[in-house]
């Protein structure tokens, strides 16, 4: 069909940014759900140039799933969107497969047409069980419920900002062909903060940052990272569910831009041995009535007693949480002390080998940084487990807890054992979801070499949940 016959929505980046920031502000102010729903449905009805609405949700491992609904159909049927949960890894068994998708109208995004196609908008979905409640395997819904409870009960707003590192490799689908090639090819060998204008890595970072700005990310800085072809694009903090949504969008944008440039954006924690791996440093704080409860100018390292108790609970449950924060076989290559690995279960303002760091801050920026998080972990699981633990967990009586000689597991098998054996992970997830998650991780581990060795094995990439597809997993 000739393009002149089409009239689909294509908005300039500046207009996209204005629209997305307005929606973000509504979300931040917790505008009533029914008010936002009415506004969005009216917009979709009136805007004739929109052809489809992309509804996204995440499975138990954090893999993003996308469904395109015809705009007119969605407007009429948004309250009755069903799908087969048994086809989603970690969701329902076949005998109880019917689930529904609700629409979180506050999590609505206008999309750059040159990256996502003309005439589309995106919204996050909520998985609803057959009884009409939050489906326990939808950790986004669980996180949202917990965040809302904390706000209603204590007036707390849970905030997060994530520093997500990744690698840019030559060729499309470099991860999915790794079992054939056995290697990744860098697009740039410059290193930390160094990438000449116009080279592939810099062009990728620039383009991705432009898309992020258009989608209301409120960028702060971007740069090549320590390892060759490694990147990091930072943006401002947000309320915890919006922050987790942005992690999913960040990775989606990076992958899409890279593919359009004939390359692959990879979020494997350690795709290449001998160089620094990729992390997802997770900065968290809690505000009440606009006041940062983690700030205390007279406190140790200028953080409050509440912030230190939050930290102590994370340290207490460090081994329990490790599988949730480092969710893949490959992630345990990153927990290597030779490459600034945050594998020590301690807290420090200066030691970057610590699981938890206390960054220099002020009344606005004071926070706790959990460094031992892989970029391939389920972002909803990461943030839910950190906040749930920091607020509700136990504090160990281990002597000198904050500087004790304790380490995170160096392999996925130990992490699985710690996770299965911990009462706290049952408290966080419930027995059913905990067992399902552990079984998924066990299945991935059992397809890989038990000892990591010195080279990245094809199996740890081939069976990695971030690059999962049915065809690859059937080749075993």
- What CATH number does the domain located at 3-135 have? 3.10.20.70
Cβ pair 420, 323 in contact under 8 A: no
Instruction: Tell which wins on pLDDT, 109 or 133.
Output: 109
pLDDT tops 60 at residue 94: no
Pairing outcome for strands 354-357 and 344-348: parallel
Mind listing the pLDDT tens digit for each residue in 434-452? 999 999 999 999 999 888 9
Residue 194 confidence (pLDDT):
59
* Cα four-point dihedral sign 316, 320, 321, 323: positive
Q: How far apart are the first and last CA of the chain?
A: 42
Residue 1 confidence (pLDDT):
47
pLDDT tops 80 at residue 476: no
Looking at residues 79-87, what average pLDDT do you find?
84
pLDDT tops 80 at residue 144: yes
Tell me phi and psi for residue 193, to 5 degrees. Answer: 60, 5
Nearest to 419 by CA among 432, 434, 433, 405: 434
Percentage of the chain with pLDDT > 90?
79
115 confidence band (pLDDT: 50, 70, 90): very high
For 313, 314, 321, 352, 392, the CA distances from 395, given in Å and listed in that order, are 5, 8, 14, 23, 10
Tell me how many degrees the CA angle 271-272-276 measures, rounded to the nearest 5. 100
Q: Which two tokens stand for residue 373?
A: 């998080």
Nearby residues of 232 by Cβ (< 8 Å), 6 or more positions away = 163, 164, 165, 166, 222, 223, 225
Mind listing the pLDDT tens digit for each residue in 352-397? 889 999 999 899 999 999 999 999 999 999 999 999 999 999 999 9
- Specify the length of the chain in residues: 476
Instruction: Tell which wins on pLDDT, 219 or 142.
Output: 142
Mind listing the pLDDT tens digit for each residue in 241-270? 999 999 999 999 999 999 999 999 999 999
Tell me how many degrees the CA angle 240-245-249 measures, rounded to the nearest 5. 145
Mind listing the pLDDT tens digit for each residue in 212-224? 999 999 989 876 7
Mind listing the pLDDT tens digit for each residue in 397-440? 999 999 999 999 999 999 999 999 999 999 999 999 999 999 99
Residue 373 confidence (pLDDT):
97
Widest CA span of the chain, in angstroms? 73
Tell me phi and psi for residue 185, to 5 degrees. Answer: -110, 120
pLDDT tops 80 at residue 230: yes
For 91, 243, 417, 445, the CA distances from 438, given in Å and listed in that order, are 13, 25, 9, 10
Looking at residues 232-237, what average pLDDT do you find?
94
Instruction: Using DSSP, state whether 283 is helix, strand or coil.
Output: strand
For 159, 288, 305, 384, the CA distances from 155, given in Å and listed in that order, are 13, 6, 18, 17
61 confidence band (pLDDT: 50, 70, 90): very high
Looking at residues 95-111, what average pLDDT do you find?
88
Nearby residues of 41 by Cβ (< 8 Å), 6 or more positions away = 75, 78, 105
Name the residue ranges covered by the structural domains of the chain.
Answer: 3-135, 156-473
Residue 109 confidence (pLDDT):
98
pLDDT tops 70 at residue 96: no
Residue 193 confidence (pLDDT):
53
Tell me how many degrees the CA angle 76-78-81 measures, rounded to the nearest 5. 115
Cβ pair 338, 226 in contact under 8 A: no
Instruction: Using DSSP, state whether 232 is helix, strand or coil.
Output: strand
Residue 33 confidence (pLDDT):
96
**What residues are paired with 368 via a beta bridge?**
284
Across the chain, mean pLDDT equals: 92
Among 61-75, 89-103, 329-343, the range scoring the smallest mean pLDDT is 89-103
Q: Does CATH number 1.20.1260.10 belong to domain 156-473?
A: no
Q: What is the pTM for the complete model shown?
A: 0.95
Looking at residues 55-62, what average pLDDT do you find?
96
Residue 470 confidence (pLDDT):
65
Residue 32 confidence (pLDDT):
97
195 confidence band (pLDDT: 50, 70, 90): low
pLDDT tops 60 at residue 95: no
């Amino acid at each position: 069909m000739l393009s002149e016959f089409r009239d689909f929505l294509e908005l300039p980046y500046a207009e996209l940014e204005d629209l997305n920031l307005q929606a973000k502000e509504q979300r931040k102010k917790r505008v009533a759900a029914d008010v936002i729903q009415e506004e969005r449905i009216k917009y979709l009805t009136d805007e004739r140039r929109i052809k489809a609405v992309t509804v996204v949700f995440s499975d138990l491992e954090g893999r993003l799933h996308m469904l395109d609904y015809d705009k007119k159909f969605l407007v009429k049927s948004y309250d009755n969107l069903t799908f087969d949960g048994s086809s989603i890894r970690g969701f329902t068994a076949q005998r109880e497969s019917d689930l529904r998708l609700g629409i979180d109208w506050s999590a609505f995004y206008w999309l750059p047409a040159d990256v996502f196609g003309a005439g589309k908008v995106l919204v996050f979905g909520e998985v609803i069980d057959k009884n009409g409640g939050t489906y326990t395997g939808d950790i986004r819904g669980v996180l949202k419920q917990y965040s809302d409870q904390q706000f209603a009960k204590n007036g707390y707003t849970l905030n997060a900002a994530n520093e997500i590192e990744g690698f840019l490799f030559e060729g499309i689908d470099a991860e999915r062909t790794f079992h054939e090639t056995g290697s990744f090819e860098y697009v740039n060998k410059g290193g930390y903060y160094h990438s000449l204008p116009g080279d592939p890595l810099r062009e990728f970072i620039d383009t991705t940052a432009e898309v992020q700005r258009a989608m209301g990310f409120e960028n702060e800085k971007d740069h090549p990272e320590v390892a060759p072809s490694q990147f990091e694009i930072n943006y401002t903090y947000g309320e915890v569910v919006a922050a987790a949504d942005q992690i999913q969008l960040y990775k989606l944008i990076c992958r899409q831009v890279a593919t359009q440039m004939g390359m692959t954006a990879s979020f494997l924690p350690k795709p290449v041995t001998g160089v620094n791996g990729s992390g997802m440093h997770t900065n968290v704080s809690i505000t009440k009535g606009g006041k940062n409860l983690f700030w205390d100018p007279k406190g140790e390292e200028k953080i409050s007693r509440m912030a230190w108790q939050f930290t102590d609970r994370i340290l207490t449950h460090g081994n329990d949480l490790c599988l949730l924060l480092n969710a893949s076989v490959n992630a345990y290559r990153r927990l290597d002390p030779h490459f600034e690995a945050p594998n020590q279960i301690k807290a420090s303002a200066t030691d970057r080998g610590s699981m938890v760091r206390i960054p220099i801050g002020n009344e606005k920026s004071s926070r706790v940084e959990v460094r031992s998080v892989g970029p391939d972990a389920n972002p909803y699981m990461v943030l839910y487990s950190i906040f749930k633990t920091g607020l509700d967990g136990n504090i160990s009586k281990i002597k000198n807890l904050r500087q004790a000689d304790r380490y995170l597991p160096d392999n996925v098998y130990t992490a699985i054992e710690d996770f299965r054996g911990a009462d706290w992970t049952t408290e966080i997830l419930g027995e059913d979801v905990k067992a399902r998650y552990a079984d998924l991780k066990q299945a991935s581990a059992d397809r890989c070499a038990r000892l990591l060795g010195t080279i990245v094995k094809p199996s740890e990439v081939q069976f990695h949940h971030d690059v999962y597809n049915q065809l690859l997993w059937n080749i075993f």
